[in-house]
Chain A
Amino acid sequence: MGDAAKVREIRALIAAHKRWDLAFAMLGLLALMVGVLTFVALFGQMAIEGAPRLSWDFFTHFPSRKPDQAGILSAWVGSTLVMIVTAATAVPLGVGAGVYLEEYAPRNWMTDLIEINVTNLAGVPSIVYGLLALGLFVYQFGLGQSILTAGLTLGLLILPVVIVATREAIRGIPAAIREGAYALGASKWQTTSDHILPYSMAGIMTGVIIGMARAIGETAPVITIGALTFIAFLPAAPFTGDPPAGLFDWIMSPFTVMPIQMFNWTSRPEAAFHQNAAAAGLVLVVMTLSMNALAIYIRYRLRKNIKW
């Protein structure tokens, strides 16, 4: 075999390998396209089905047996109230736990136990949280099938998300900041509350928003605690209703939430209700996606702006 033939052979080999490279790059793009197309189909189908139903009336009417009069008033009010309780549970507990684990925790078995726990809880299926809430909150504590129960359940569910986000945000702060504060005589808590927390706020917010976006779309645990699927009234506004009416009467009220309303409409046989389901789904997707987008944007800004 002459040299020229050898060179040709090697060139052919290189070309073949380069084709493989190209083929795999195409395959990768194709795989991404499957995701993109699914999303486009999902969103498009819901938009086409549901958009005609989206009107002011849809947001201000209660669910009804007549599909064209049914709305999501009780669902979005319920979702909003449940989210308030969820945030009030998950934010203080999650941020507190994150601060403890990063700033205070001694290196011992207790800390290890808590850390392993947080990792494991993130892998527990959401419906198991529903069973916990059913056994513990609904029957043991006697909280009933209320907004409070749902909010606490979802709060526990997103706790790992908030804890992990808080820890990551705090870990990004250089030790020099702490040393500077200590050098000026600040106590541990002063350092934490005046420096660590404000500087990690954007990272924590990202985690909280992602967690809330997840909570607002969760259906299974809320169904498991026995939330009703047909609610044609609103929880009492503060200081209304029978005396002694207080600020927090609504918290013990029965409720429904957006995903349950959508589930209810989806599982009915009539096509007209499916349109309502599409419209409710559209509202839900726009809500969760804009929350996720906000979180991604905050993180992007954060990465660009902060340079220690």
Chain B
Amino acid sequence: MPENFVSDRLARRQVRHTKERAIESILFLAAFVSVATTVGIVVILLKESFVFFQQVSLWDFLTDTQWTPLFADAHYGIVPLLSGTLVSTAVALLVAIPLGTIIAVYLSEFAPFTVREVAKPFLEMLGGVPTIVYGYFALLFVTPLLQMLYPGLPGFNLLSAGLVMGIMIIPYVSSVSEDAMRAVPMALREGSYAMGATRFQTAIRVVTPAAFSGIAAAYILGISRAVGETMILAVAAGMQPRLTWNPLEPAATITAYIVQVALGDLPHGSIGYQTIFAAGLTLALVTLLFNVLGHILRKRYRQAY
């Protein structure tokens, strides 16, 4: 029965083809979940914020200098929360950018093989410590230490939270910068050495400029980590919104405010409930801004070798 035989094989091929198609569709759906997540984030933040902005004008939101949504005399100015976020981020960057860059240059250009093999996993571990543990450390170790140096320091303050946050983001800054520096072709270094330059001169004048786009991307990554960091600030910087540019004072950040509200029991649909989405939208926009900036920097200054 030759015909039968052929049609059997054709049938089997048909089944196999359908199965292959089905599997491809399932895998596509798995990949599409990431798009759906982004859409979900955007829709939820916009939807709840839209309700919020029907009751509070955008102008008040941006210019009012008080954030007291849960008080009888309610004010909805995001500026105090932004100031806390900016000050703590600035402190963190003052720690993370110099230390992270030095570590990256050292590991990429100076360190002997064994040092690098030990230091890289160690830095990775440092980045893997849960942030709540860093929060505990900031509140109960760093703050008392700082109080010895500066007795008037309040128990909650942006300084110790920012310092610890800076240590936390060192690994992000150093590993991305180092990757960028190692991607610089050896020929550039060899050319520099051949001209009689030292390691330090080569690192500073040749490798760092060549890897600039990657290093800038690393800084931006550090910034968006610091802006979005939550637990260290919620634990060690206090949860009181106040407009201050002084790191020695306590202040709430956008993220700490969201945690504070979530810890309480706000009814779904109340204005207090919607404030956290408006705050979250601000946070998402700020981080998006930095991510886009990083993307542009990387594109514009990318040098092709």
What residues of chain A have their CB less than 8 Å away from a CB belonging to chain B? 17-18, 20-21, 24-25, 27-29, 31-32, 34-36, 38-39, 41-42, 45-46, 49, 92-97, 99-101, 104-105, 113-114, 117-118, 120-121, 123-132, 134-136, 139, 156, 159-160, 163, 187-189, 210, 213-214, 216-220, 223-226, 229, 259, 262-263, 266-267, 274, 277-278, 281, 284-285, 288-289, 291-293, 296
Q: How far is the CA of A92 from the CA of B31 in the complex (A)?
A: 10
* Residue contact B124 to A28, C-beta cutoff 8 Å: no
CB neighbours of B106 from chain A (8 A): 24-25, 27-29, 31-32
A32 to B234, CA, bound (A): 27
Q: Are B30 and A125 in contact (CB under 8 A)?
A: no
Contacts of A132 in B (CB 8 A): 37, 40-41, 44-45
- Residues of the B chain whose Cβ atoms lie less than 8 Å from the Cβ of A188: 20, 24
Verify if B258 is at the interface (C-beta below 8 Å from A): yes
B291 proximity list for chain A (CB < 8 A): 120, 123
Contact of A17 with B130 in the complex, beta carbons under 8 Å? no
Known: A31-B99, A259-B132. A42 touches B141 (CB 8 A): yes
Task: Chain B residues near A41: list those with CB within 8 A.
Answer: 137, 141
How far apart are the CA atoms of A226 and B260 in the complex, in Å? 11
* Assembled-state Cα–Cα distance A99/B30 (Å): 10
Query: Which residues of chain B come closer than 8 Å to A130, judged between CB atoms?
Result: 258, 262
A296 to B118, CA, bound (A): 11
Say whether B124 contacts A278, CB under 8 Å.
Answer: no
- Interface residue stretch chosen among B3-11, B72-80, B194-202: B194-202
CA distance A29 to B29 in the complex (A): 48
Q: Let me know if B34 and A42 touch, CB within 8 A.
A: no
- Greatest chain A CB density within 10 A among B30, B99, B110, B283 is at B30
| Interface membership of B126, Cβ < 8 A | yes
Would you list the 10 A-B pairs with minimal beta carbon distance, nearest first?
Answer: A125-B228, A28-B106, A217-B130, A96-B30, A135-B44, A220-B230, A100-B27, A97-B31, A100-B31, A131-B280
Tell me the complex Cα distance, A153–B40, Å.
12
Tell me which of B106, B130, B135, B259 has the highest count of chain A C-beta atoms within 10 A of its own C-beta.
B130
Q: Once the chains bind, are B167 and A213 in contact (CB under 8 Å)?
A: no
B223-244 vs A, CB cutoff 8 Å, 1 = contact: the mask equals: 0100111110011000000000
The answer to whether B133 touches A42 (Cβ under 8 A) is yes
Contacts of B31 in A (CB 8 A): 96-97, 100-101, 105, 114
Number of A-B contacts (CB under 8 A): 256
User: Which applies to chain A's interface (DSSP): helix, strand, loop or mixed?
Assistant: helix
> Inside 8 A of B103's CB, which chain A residues have their CB?
28, 31-32, 35
A117 touches B167 (CB 8 A): no
Q: Which of B16, B235, B263 contacts A187 (CB 8 A)?
A: B16
Cα distance A239–B201 in the bound complex, in angstroms = 70
The answer to whether A189 touches B20, judged by C-beta atoms less than 8 angstroms apart, is: yes
- In addition to A31-B106, A219-B131, 18 A-B residue pairs with Cβ atoms within 8 Å of each other are A31-B99, A42-B129, A96-B29, A97-B34, A101-B31, A105-B31, A114-B35, A130-B262, A136-B40, A187-B16, A220-B131, A220-B255, A223-B262, A266-B135, A266-B235, A274-B140, A285-B129, A296-B124
| Proximity bits, B125-163, A CB within 8 Å = 1, else 0 | 110111111111101110000000000000000000000
Pair A100/B287 contact, Cβ less than 8 Å: no
B230 contact from A100, A125, A291, Cβ within 8 A:
A125
CB-based contact A28/B262 at 8 Å: no
- B259 cross-chain contacts in A, Cβ below 8 A: 127, 220, 223-224
Contact B137 A45 (CB under 8 A): yes
Q: Which of B136, B141, B230 is within 8 Å of A127, CB to CB? A: B230
B107 at the interface (CB under 8 A from A): yes
Min CB distance A96 to B, Å, is: 3
Contacting pair A114 B34 (CB below 8 A): yes
Q: With contacts A114-B34, A121-B37 known, is A127 near B255, CB below 8 A?
A: yes
With both beta carbons as reference points, the residue of chain B lying nearest to A220 in the complex is identified as B230
User: Closest residue of chain B to A262, judged by CB?
Assistant: B132
User: What is the bound-complex CA distance between A121 and B41, given in angstroms?
Assistant: 10
Task: Pick the contact of A100: B28, B98, B170 (CB < 8 A).
Answer: B28
**Interface contact B268-A139, CB-CB below 8 Å:** yes
Partner of A128, one of B30, B128, B198, B228: B228
A-B contact pairs, 28 of them (CB 8 A): A17-B198, A24-B199, A28-B105, A28-B106, A31-B99, A34-B167, A39-B125, A41-B141, A93-B30, A96-B27, A96-B31, A97-B33, A101-B31, A104-B27, A105-B31, A125-B230, A125-B255, A135-B277, A160-B34, A217-B129, A219-B230, A220-B231, A220-B255, A224-B259, A266-B235, A277-B140, A278-B136, A288-B129
Tell whether B38 is near chain A: CB-to-CB under 8 Å: yes
Which residue from B32, B135, B167 sits with its C-beta under 8 Å from A35?
A: B167
A224 with B258: in contact, given A97-B30, A159-B33, A288-B129 (CB under 8 Å)? yes
Q: How far is the CA of A278 from the CA of B33 in the complex (A)?
A: 38
A residues less than 8 Å from B111 (CB atoms): 28
Provide the residues of chain B in CB contact with A36, threshold 8 Å. 122
